[in-house]
Chain A
């Protein structure tokens, strides 16, 4: 039966799943990760944990969060509210104390993503200006009580994830293109006319340097999640708002001046993604990236030249983080599990942490060094 089952798995496009073994990654120093989560009672948390099964910190959030990040120089963690909520919680890594709760203000809400600058001075968030539905990119001063020092347009609707180019001055922002209004919850209001884009913005002046878009017929491919490597290559995970049977790209690469290039992958695997990718992350080396597709229970792996490498099955898997090794990732899932996957050994290992723990890991995870 084993042979048959294996053949069948291959036919499903699930790739070869190696047996899950007991030992976690045998790193001597535990790697730490942070993610937002929801527990069985529906409460929301920011959690710091390590790959040896230890929870290091737990902070209760006022609502559901999305992206989390560690401050580059201070012992701080932060979690960003997903739309249409208005908070960013900044928490002490040392004792879990709430250091600051940033409120976007009543005319604004966050979109679930914010990043620190490499020098630790600035916090940059994507926001919705509710009266106009205009996307904003707002910079706050970490040294001065997180006061707003710049408020730039995102040059699109529904800005989502953002990243710094390696010059540490230029921002890349994914404008998902989807209009929502807090009065209508999370309902999407402009699916017929949405115009997603990936823009390059000068963080100091707010000037638009480039607006990259997909061909017009792909305007329902919402560009939402991105990550960047040391070569200024941007990996893109998209969510298609059209029909399930349409054959559209869900993954892409962007480079300044070279536009957006849709990536190819075997059609059965693309179909398994169910038109929905949730997170994109480069590995430690920047030579490989992973893109998760939680609706398809699938994580795909790519080379930085855009070549598809591999995919594995992870039930409701979405959060992705690089480890300290090239070609290695940690993946978190909505049913509370974490896995380590190494592209070179093709070995998938369940981390001891999650086990049967009743909490759902939210879309994004980050390694905290």
Chain B
């Protein structure tokens, strides 16, 4: 940052006049540094820790279960699946850093699976019953469609899952392999974030980010852009063009009946990030920049979106076929759109450019 200021002071007076007002209006380096540090320390790291912990439990539970497949063991594995998926939904909005490496983001949750690659690949593996296909090397090279949570869900939540596990030991071995792979990703991401977090805690121009603005841009993108993903992928795709043409099986995690829970967790996570950093939270910085009304509107809408989602009866795949709830969901999609618009507009008072060529190129 030293350099920027020096270079800046060398520029002509006219340029100073042109630029100065917007600089004064924007949050300071110190404010952004405080938010950045808080965001990784209080928001991101604990959430990756939760993913590492829950996926480790899931891995243990499947191993335990496969020693002797019982009703109770399956229930435990399912519960651990729920916990792991909940943890992933709570940190899915972060699409930068270690989760980007080695296609981990796709491997953890290959969804939406428009061509049913997961189903086909899984069926192929189960039919062949080839133990060699589960070796570390072979499995690492396997399709991302079968390495993560959707494959796990298919295995654990199949109609006669217990029966199949009892009669097909290979199915159990595959389940253990997938769970182990998920746990490995959870562990590795958390471990690598220990180091990556430093890039956010001390931004001196020598590391990955050139300045606090760059680091904060990544954090704010993670807060703004997922709102549209929830709307487009998780609500509008299953809603389809009309109630008669709703597509229940396009719902995320419909087999485990947690589509609505996933969205609630997504929005709670974004809301938390919006309020992370105390005085230096995006919420508070907006107010300091004179955009109190905007700040409050975004705050209120997060709360209302979460309560609206909680008011829709689970499972989602049934509600999309019910007139009353179809309308509820439509309204939620409208509010999500408004939330996207408001948050994108809020980047201006914060003097943050989420992306120009990267978001609207040609």
Contact = CB atoms under 8 A, between A and B. Distances in A.
B358 A83 contact: no
A224 B361 CA distance: 12
Contact of B7 (A55, A160, A278, A352): A352
Nearest to B22: A358
B132 interface: no
Given A66-B362, A315-B210, 10 more contacts: A11-B101, A271-B103, A294-B355, A294-B358, A319-B357, A334-B353, A334-B357, A350-B3, A352-B7, A355-B8
B199 A278 contact: no
Nearest to A296: B358
Interface in A237-252: 244-245
Interface in A333-363: 333-335, 350, 352, 355-358, 360-363
Contact of B4 (A224, A318, A355): A355
B141 interface: no
Interface in B161-220: 192, 195-196, 198-199, 205-208, 210, 213-214, 217
Interface residues of A, number: 54
Contacts of B17: none
28 contacts: A1-B198, A5-B208, A8-B196, A8-B208, A9-B208, A12-B101, A12-B208, A14-B208, A20-B210, A40-B22, A82-B362, A244-B106, A245-B106, A271-B100, A278-B361, A295-B361, A297-B358, A315-B214, A318-B357, A318-B361, A334-B353, A334-B357, A334-B358, A356-B4, A356-B8, A356-B23, A357-B19, A358-B351
Interface of B: 3-4, 6-8, 10-11, 15, 19, 22-23, 100-103, 106, 110, 144, 192, 195-196, 198-199, 205-208, 210, 213-214, 217, 348, 351, 353, 355-358, 361-362
Contacts of B361: 276, 278, 294-295, 318, 363
A53 B8 CA distance: 10
A5 B207 contact: yes
A38 B19 CA distance: 15
A313 interface: yes
Contacts of A360: 353, 356-357
B185 to A, nearest CB: 15
Nearest to A9: B208
Q: For A20, A40, A271, A316, which residue has the most chain B Cβ atoms within 10 angstroms?
A: A316
A316 B22 contact: no
A309 to B, nearest CB: 21
Contacts of A352: 7, 10-11
Nearest to A272: B100
Contacts of B195: 4-5, 8
A234 to B, nearest CB: 19
A335 B353 CA distance: 7
Interface in A1-20: 1-2, 4-5, 8-9, 11-14, 17, 19-20
Contacts of B217: 315, 335
A294 B357 CA distance: 6
B357 A316 contact: yes
Nearest to A314: B210
A230 interface: no
A21 interface: yes
A145 interface: no
A331 B198 CA distance: 27
A22 B357 contact: no
A112 interface: yes
Contacts of B198: 1, 4-5
A244 to B, nearest CB: 7
A19 B206 contact: yes
Contacts of A244: 106
Interface in A277-315: 278, 294-295, 297, 313, 315
Contacts of B348: 40
Contacts of A361: 356-357
A30 interface: no
B285 to A, nearest CB: 18
Nearest to B202: A1
B208 A335 contact: no
Nearest to B206: A19
* Minimum-distance CB pairs A-B, first 4: A334-B356, A318-B357, A360-B356, A294-B357
A182 interface: no
B10 A362 contact: no
B65 to A, nearest CB: 30
A210 B103 CA distance: 38
A53 B3 contact: no
A259 interface: no
A268 interface: yes
A8 B192 contact: yes
A298 B150 CA distance: 31
Contacts of B102: 268
B238 to A, nearest CB: 19
Given A20-B3, A271-B103, A335-B353, A5 B19 contact: no
Contacts of B356: 38, 316, 334-335, 360-362
Given A14-B208, A22-B6, A112-B362, A278 B106 contact: no
A338 B306 CA distance: 42
Contacts of A53: 7, 10-11
A276 B198 CA distance: 29
Nearest to B6: A22
Q: For B7, B15, B22, B195, which residue has the most chain A Cβ atoms within 10 angstroms?
A: B7
Interface string A142-165: 000000000000000000100000
B355 A358 contact: no
A309 B355 CA distance: 27
Nearest to A318: B357
A278 B357 contact: yes
A20 B3 CA distance: 9
A112 B360 CA distance: 14
Contacts of A38: 356
B210 A268 contact: no
A22 B208 contact: no
